[in-house]
Amino acid sequence: MGKADVTFKATINGLILILKEDDDFQDIYDQIDKKMASAGKFFKDASIIVKYRGKKLSAHEEDKIRELMASKTGAEIKSFKYDIQEIHKTHSDNNAQTSKKFSLKKFSYFNGIKEGQTKFYRGTVRSGQLISYDGNLVVLGDVNPGGEIEATGNVIVMGSLRGVVHAGADGNREAIVAALNLEPTQLRIADIITRSPDEKENKSTYIPEIAYVKDDTVYIERFLPLLK
């Protein structure tokens, strides 16, 4: 008998169980039983909403798992149902859904520029990938041409920024873009769009630069003093 693969995922809205499409119900049941036992009384007296993805269970099976979870954890299971929002197939798909959700017509925009929520993304943002965040965004890696990063706050790239970047995506012109090597295909801050000159200059060394808006114009300058 094969061991089923059940992944537990905690979200703000509750717990999500990710089941494998082709696993046997009995295997899944056993696996949940085991995992619940190892979690001990962590969920005791809590009331949680549980959803599951992947294999669709019958109403009878759903009841069985619900009972199992309630008895093992001592938590009140408020509901146990199939998660309609299917697992996003790919990373980029996932991001495509959230893209352009920041509308410039909002009355208030993200203003955690000085300090505020920040996402750290580690890795290279490749062509076709879109990293989007409602807050400040730090990329620990490069952004390649064709890759896009979009944040309602500041964008910092600890690497080469060669793709498209949009800071202050919901309208905050105070937002800045900084990178160790700033040569974006296109740079947008709030509602202002600039692009790099068509003639490519060959830079031999990387110079950390910062882009900001002043009087409707994007200025780019180095943010470190010249080393003597």
Q: How far apart are CA 190 and CA 113, in angstroms?
A: 13
Residue position matching structure tokens 């706050």: 153
Q: What is the dihedral of CA 20, 24, 28, 34, to 10 degrees?
A: -130
Give the nearer residue to another protein in terms of CB position, either 40 or 145: 145
Residue 74: CB minimum distance to another protein, A: 45
Burial class of 49 by CB neighbour count within 10 A (0 to 12, 13 to 18, 19+): middle
Instruction: Classify residue 153 by its DSSP letter.
Output: S
Q: Which of residues 139-168 bind another protein (CB under 8 A)?
A: 145-146, 148, 164
118 sits near another protein (criterion: CB under 8 A): no
Q: For residue 15, give both structure tokens.
A: 């717990």
Please state the closest distance from residue 31 (CB atom) to another protein, in A: 33
Run of H or E including 149 = strand 148-151
Task: State which residue, 26 or 127, has the beta carbon closest to another protein.
Answer: 127
Task: Kindly tell me which of 14 and 128 has the beta carbon lying closer to another protein.
Answer: 128
Q: Determine if 193 is a binding residue for another protein (CB under 8 A).
A: yes
Structure-token pair, residue 186: 């296109």
Q: Which of 11, 88, 127, 206 binds another protein (CB under 8 A)?
A: 127
The reply on whether position 98 binds another protein by CB under 8 A is: no
Nearer to another protein, 31 or 95 (CB): 95
| Spatial distance between the Cα atoms of 176 and 211, rounded to a whole number of angstroms | 6
- The reply on whether position 92 binds another protein by CB under 8 A is yes
Q: In this chain, which of 112, 128, 135, 141 binds another protein, going by CB under 8 A?
A: 128
* Six-digit token string for 228: 């003597």
Please give the residue ranges that form the binding site for another protein (CB under 8 A).
92-93, 95-96, 99-100, 127-130, 145-146, 148, 164, 185-186, 193, 195-196, 198
